[in-house]
Amino acid sequence: MDFQNTPEQEAFRQELRGWLAANLPRELCVDDPTDERVAPDRPTFEKRVAWQRVMCKAGWVGMSWPREYGGRGATLMEQLIYDEECFRARAPVLPGYSGIGMIGPTLIEVGTPAQKARFVPRILTAEDIWCQGFSEPGAGSDLAGLQTRAVDKGDHFLVNGQKVWTSGAQFAAWIYLLVRTDPAAPKHKGISYLLVDMKTPGITVRPLVLMNGHRHFNEVFFVDVAVPKANLVGAVNQGWGVAMTTLMYERKAGGGRGHDEQIRRLGALARELSVDGAPAWGSPLVRQRWAQLAIEAAAFKYTRYRNITRQLRGEPPGPEGSILKLFGSELGVRIADFAGELLGPRVLVNQPTAEVPDAPRWYNRVVSARQYTIAGGTSEIQRNIIGERVLGLPKD
């Protein structure tokens, strides 16, 4: 792969970098955009919505979307540069990320003309914020085991059941929801995909508070919730295929970011931090651990580039794609573990102090890193996929 940007790509990077420097309000910048993907409170959420609108007006939202839907039709390299620059500027994750990254592209691909006309234009402009209602208390890795029922009532479905881990449901106007419409059919074949207005009577959102106090996700309860038939995506009982389309976009949107920056900061921390009266960096053990992380981050980055090169050449995804999620998220945990060991009990300091001036950065890392090994398919599930589908190993 060619590691140099073309002059056009470099111009694109500089244009975005300059625009962000001139327009991104400092108060919205986040220490580490991989944390706090959901706004911590409503005032911050509203500010981020306003920010998405500013970005949208300037043509910086929906990079991968086709131009006819208000997107930028950006190349893969431009999307990569976009991600890097937004991260570099510490721009918050946009509140509309679930709509922009998942339900929008799904509707563009499989929605009816009426659904496209009604829902798609309101996504980039942050008029509608969406959340994903897939997981349930008994259905995560085994998503097809979901039990939320939707009963056909003529012109509408009546939905009863519960979703869990629903990121951002406390702010969302709409939820894209998987429901069981045929309990007698084999489990993948009795599922339908609905678009549900969160203001519909019968919906209750209950926040799940993380141990660092963040309110990222929720339980969502449905009691006799009426959903118009017009909001069915794809055919009745064919929702599994639509869900796979959404999950394909989710995986595309995912991928580890920020490892290099976190490792750089850890190196700086080790130079500052005093252990037994001497800088931690003086210990060969600390330097070795740090170097190992730096090596792994480099391996991850180049594997990611190799994967992108394949896509740019129009080749089918290779094994790299399958290992990126696993390796990237687990490397994030190893980085957080090292931060924890380096700081010892000081990692728990959640406000800046003389000893830990950048608190609560590392505290948040330690608490948050593991979520990426679960969300979007756990590490064990990734290993199963790599073993069975990539390496062709026998199932038993």
Ligand X SMILES: Cc1cc2nc3c(=O)[nH]c(=O)nc-3n(C[C@H](O)[C@H](O)[C@H](O)COP(=O)(O)OP(=O)(O)OC[C@H]3O[C@@H](n4cnc5c(N)ncnc54)[C@H](O)[C@@H]3O)c2cc1C
| 166 sits near ligand X (criterion: CB under 6 A) | yes
| 336 sits near ligand X (criterion: CB under 6 A) | no
Tokens of 231: 């909001």
Taking the alpha carbons at both ends of the chain, their separation in whole angstroms is: 38
174-180 and 130-133 beta bridge pairing: parallel
Query: 360: cis peptide before it, omega within 30°?
Result: yes
| 165 sits near ligand X (criterion: CB under 6 A) | yes
Piece of 17-25, 164-172, 269-277, 282-290 that binds ligand X (CB under 6 A): 164-172
| 332 sits near ligand X (criterion: CB under 6 A) | no
Assess whether 250 carries a catalytic annotation.
Answer: yes
Please report how close the Cβ of residue 384 comes to ligand X at its closest, in angstroms: 5
| 167 sits near ligand X (criterion: CB under 6 A) | yes
Please report how close the Cβ of residue 332 comes to ligand X at its closest, in angstroms: 12
* Residue among 64 and 371 whose Cβ is closer to ligand X: 371
Residue type at 339? A
Length in residues, the chain: 396
Query: Taking CB under 6 A as the criterion, which residues in 271-300 touch ligand X?
Result: none
- 50: exposed, middle or buried (Cβ count in 10 Å: 0-12, 13-18, 19+): middle
Looking up tokens 């949107």 gives: 253
Q: List Cα–Cα distances, 151 to 191, 234, 257, 285, in angstroms.
A: 11, 16, 42, 61
Exactly one of 36, 78, 85, 250 is catalytic; which is it?
Answer: 250
| 148 sits near ligand X (criterion: CB under 6 A) | no
Query: Taking CB under 6 A as the criterion, which residues in 343-372 touch ligand X?
Result: 371
| 389 sits near ligand X (criterion: CB under 6 A) | no
Binding mask of the shown chain, residues 91 to 130, with x at each position contacting ligand X by CB under 6 A: ----------------------------------------
Among 247, 381, 386, 390, binds ligand X (CB under 6 A): 381
Piece of 162-170, 201-209, 271-279, 334-342 that binds ligand X (CB under 6 A): 162-170
**9, 78 contact by CB (below 8 A):** yes
* Residue among 119 and 281 whose Cβ is closer to ligand X: 119
CA–CA separation, 301 vs 81, rounded Å?
14
* Residue among 20 and 39 whose Cβ is closer to ligand X: 39
Residue type at 243? A
| 135 sits near ligand X (criterion: CB under 6 A) | yes
Q: Tell how far CA 356 is from the center of its chain.
A: 29
Q: List Cα–Cα distances, 24 to 38, 48, 85, in angstroms.
A: 18, 10, 12
Looking up tokens 């921390």 gives: 269
Q: List active site positions.
A: 250
Which parts of this chain interact with ligand X (CB under 6 A)? 131-135, 140-141, 165-167, 216-217, 371, 374-375, 377-378, 380-381, 384
